[in-house]
Amino acid sequence: MLLRNAVLYRDQTFLQGDLAFANGRFVTPSASDDSLDLSGRTIIPGLVDIHFHGNSGVDFCDGSYDGLVKIARFLARSGITSFSPASMTLPEARLQAAFATAIRLRREQPAQAARLYGITMEGPFFNAAKKGAQNADYLMLPDLDFFNRLAETAAGLIRIACIAPELPGAIEFIEQVSRRCTVAVAHTSADYDTAKAGFDAGARHVTHLFNAMPPFVHRAPGVIGAAADHPAVTAELITDGIHIHPSVVRAAFKIFGAERMILVSDSMAACGMSDGEYDLGGQRVRVSGRTAALADGTIAGSATHLFDCLRTAISFGIRPEDAIAAATINPARVIGADREIGSIAPGKSADFVICKPDWSIEAVYVAGEPIRL
């Protein structure tokens, strides 16, 4: 299939050109009878969400295969073609069940669905003082045996493991686990020196920057300052328009540089649903007007999917070239999938979104197959 005369997003820039794909992969364009003129349209890679919990009334940790298929199909319709669902702080048995469903989805790859490329293990090794919407009943100190049991069930699919570096045993955990997947600093009260020790030990990512961590203060820069000072560390931003002020989003891109920024949705079951009550990690969350919160007012994930977060970031003044990279190739690198997804290049999976001039979605393709919107 040949798509002609589109504006293509390639190598972090926009170029007029043609896009071709065959057998589920991008190929070098050549003359073809099977072609479509896309003048006035922009084609970008399919988005990659590496931190979200659910949508469509379903949570990843429900452990339901049919529920996970429902999640993946909603993502595909929303322009998110690849994902790494995030777990919560829950009993081991529930995590085992959820991880097993991820393995099955990865193996079966149902039609009309986004592709699962990993699992993001958010918890249970967090500081209770910064637990956010994590369930305090199941928080625990870093436990390598606990991680290993889940990693065995996940058959190598854990791509991100989150931890508070100030906890006893955390540095040793980071040293070991960072050899196997990306370790992220999260839900933490760490000061600058403690966070730096975590990054020096091998942590290379920060989960939802600014949220569930100390603020960036001129004499106490904390996790944010330590991450900014370490050039190998990437950082997530939830750009739903609620979690972070537009000025702070712009500042983060300036401090870290666009190449280190990752857009995530942190969406929960209410995404794609009407206002009401939903479950997040065993806790009731009230959603009203796009804000999801626990009974005490704590923000509990978002009700916004990643494509809308991308559009919001652009509306905040982030260059489209930078925002798109932060939602495609940058997160693909974090989960080690950038050779397969995240950009438009011959040989990669033909995952892409055809956008209208206002950045709304006209069409989505996953592995060269059109998604019914």
Indicate if the pLDDT at residue 33 is higher than 70: no
DSSP class per residue in 17-65: EEEEEETTEEE-----SSEEE-TT-EEEEPEEE-S--EETTEEGGG--H
Crossing angle between the packed helical segments 246-256 and 222-229, to the nearest 10 degrees: 40
Indicate if the pLDDT at residue 299 is higher than 70: yes
Higher pLDDT, 30 or 131: 131
Q: What are the domain boundaries of the chain?
A: 45-342
Average pLDDT over every residue of 290-318: 89
pLDDT at 133: 87
The encoded tokens of residue 205 equal: 């990512």
Reported as a single tens digit per residue, the pLDDT across 151-162 is 999 999 999 999
* pLDDT band (50, 70, 90) for residue 288: confident
Burial class (CB in 10 A: 0-12, 13-18, 19+), 31: exposed
Reported as a single tens digit per residue, the pLDDT across 245-265 is 999 999 999 999 999 999 999
Q: Is the Cα torsion angle 202, 208, 213, 218 positive or negative in sign?
A: positive
Indicate if the pLDDT at residue 189 is higher than 90: yes
Average pLDDT over every residue of 27-37: 84
Average pLDDT over every residue of 19-42: 90
Q: Pick left, alpha or beta for residue 282 (phi over 0 → left; psi -120 to 50 → alpha; otherwise beta).
A: left
* pLDDT band (50, 70, 90) for residue 353: very high
Report the percent of the chain where pLDDT is more than 70. 99
- Residues sharing a CB contact under 8 Å with residue 144, sequence separation 6 or more, in sequence order: 172, 173, 176, 177
Report the percent of the chain where pLDDT is more than 90. 88
The encoded tokens of residue 313 equal: 């970031």
Average pLDDT over every residue of 52-64: 96
* pLDDT band (50, 70, 90) for residue 362: very high
Strand 299-302 and strand 291-293: the pairing is antiparallel
β-sheet bridge partners, residue 267: 302
Task: With beta carbons less than 8 A apart as the criterion, state whether 72 and 104 touch.
Answer: no
From 19-23, 144-148, 188-192, 275-279, the region with the lowest mean pLDDT: 275-279
Which residue, among 184, 166, 293, 185, has the nearest Cα to 240 in the 3D structure?
Answer: 293
Q: Give the mean pLDDT of the chain.
A: 95
Residue 358: phi and psi, rounded to 5, are: -90, 10
Q: DSSP alpha helices (H): ranges in the chain?
A: 65-77, 92-108, 144-154, 170-177, 192-201, 222-229, 246-256, 306-315, 320-327, 329-334
Task: With beta carbons less than 8 A apart as the criterion, state whether 81 and 366 touch.
Answer: yes
β-sheet bridge partners, residue 184: 162, 205
The dotted CATH code for 45-342 is 3.20.20.140
266 is catalytic: yes
Average pLDDT over every residue of 115-131: 97
The secondary structure of the chain in percent helix, strand, coil, rounded to multiples of 5, reads 30, 25, 40
* pLDDT band (50, 70, 90) for residue 142: very high
Indicate if the pLDDT at residue 311 is higher than 80: yes
* pLDDT band (50, 70, 90) for residue 178: very high
Calpha distance 157→102 (Å, rounded):
8
Average pLDDT over every residue of 22-51: 92
pLDDT at 16: 95
pLDDT at 275: 85
pLDDT at 284: 81
pLDDT at 340: 98
Indicate if the pLDDT at residue 213 is higher than 80: yes
* pLDDT band (50, 70, 90) for residue 280: confident
Q: Enter the DSSP assignment of 10.
A: E
Indicate if the pLDDT at residue 71 is higher than 70: yes
Catalytic, out of 49, 59, 62, 266: 266
Average pLDDT over every residue of 123-148: 96
Average pLDDT over every residue of 40-68: 97
pLDDT at 190: 98
* pLDDT band (50, 70, 90) for residue 193: very high
Crossing angle between the packed helical segments 192-201 and 170-177, to the nearest 10 degrees: 30
